[in-house]
Amino acid sequence: MTRRLALVALLALTACPRLDPMQRQQKYKAYQESRFTADGLAMMHPPPGTVPYGPPLEPAVATGRGPDGKPLAVMPVKIDAALLARGRLRFDTNCAICHGVLGDGESQVALNMSLRRPPSLHLYRDRPDGYIFQVISQGFGLMPSYAHLTVQDRWAVVAYVRALQLSQHATVEQVPQEARQRLEKEGR
């Protein structure tokens, strides 16, 4: 039986001598020329009248502003564990290099950005959620815009920034009971 299996494996190997990963298939890259399109560009415009797929975003969700034009005090997206996990991932990937993994502004980049150090995000605890969303979406001063993150991901980052802020300014009363006992046992 094992010998037969080995034979099958050997045949399979000789039948496809080289695995050709999909990266190496023929394809167009953005901004390349194309012989197939009328204007000779690989990137095509959507046909006229195309509408985005999916329900339109509410203006407050898309902009972080209320009807009065002011930044929303409380984010308009439901916060749950999945959103926070997403926010952490996005924060660690996009923001931590400058603002530090704890959001305290301690990072290697910050040490070397002599013109304007990325500030500690704990200084922005009293800013409305919508304001943080706008800074991410539009950038601020020397900080570039992170509008390439989806709207949902930007709100996820806002939620995670709030969690970081709380983590550094929480009182013992806010620590869950079982974790509190552990803290007390460790004498901290």
Minimal CB distance residue for ligand HEC: 141
118 binds ligand HEC (CB under 6 A): yes
Residues in Cβ contact with 156 at an 8 Å cutoff, skipping those fewer than 6 apart:
77, 83, 84, 86, 87, 90
Shortest distance in whole angstroms from residue 90 CB to ligand HEC: 7
Give the tokens for residue 83. Answer: 């959103």
Is-contact 158 166, C-beta < 8 A?
A: no
Shortest distance in whole angstroms from residue 130 CB to ligand HEC: 12
Stretch that binds ligand HEC, among 70-78, 80-88, 140-148, 176-184 (CB under 6 A): 140-148
Stretch that binds ligand HEC, among 15-23, 41-49, 112-120, 178-186 (CB under 6 A): 112-120
Stretch that binds ligand HEC, among 58-66, 68-76, 90-98, 172-180 (CB under 6 A): 90-98
Among 70, 116, 125, 182, binds ligand HEC (CB under 6 A): 116
Is-contact 64 133, C-beta < 8 A?
A: yes
Q: Which of 136, 138, 139, 130 is nearest to 157 (CA)?
A: 136
Q: Which of 124, 136, 128, 126 is nearest to 71 (CA)?
A: 128
142 binds ligand HEC (CB under 6 A): yes
Q: Which of 38, 40, 13 is nearest to 28 (CA)?
A: 40
Among 46, 47, 55, 141, binds ligand HEC (CB under 6 A): 141
d(Cα 98, Cα 146) in Å, to the nearest integer? 13
Among 72, 121, 156, 164, binds ligand HEC (CB under 6 A): 121
Count the neighbouring beta carbons within 10 Å of the beta carbon of residue 139: 13
How many positions of this chain bind ligand HEC (CB under 6 A)?
21
Binding site for ligand HEC (CB under 6 A): 94-95, 97-99, 109, 116, 118-119, 121, 124, 132, 135-136, 140-143, 146, 157, 161
